Structure 1
Amino acid sequence: MAIGKSGRVVIEIDPKLKEQLHLSIKKKGLSLKEWFEKKAIEDFPELKEIRKD
């Protein structure tokens, strides 16, 4: 997988999983980006130091 400097994360997942993921995240009042960043920081707390707010 290529690693660029754009700030984008691109992954390919099953379209049905993607749809359900979006619906579940929306129910929590989050965007996919907010959810991803939250989960990444939960798993890797050291990333909080480099996060742009």
Structure 2
Amino acid sequence: MVELHRELTHLGIACAIPDGVLRFSPHWPNALDEWEQVLLSTDEALARVRKG
């Protein structure tokens, strides 16, 4: 989970893992209309983590 958080942060996606669960804040600082990019970046981050 830490690796995924690191990759998402590197891609400019605001998220946190305060209790071991990846959490997004769609209202701040991500705008609601940015969710498509969030999903694309999540796919990219997952691919990077899996690649190692």
- TM-score, with normalisation over the residues of structure 1? 0.31
Larger Rg: 1
| Higher normalized contact order (CA 8 Å, seq sep 6+, divided by chain length) | 2
- TM-score, with normalisation over the residues of structure 2? 0.31
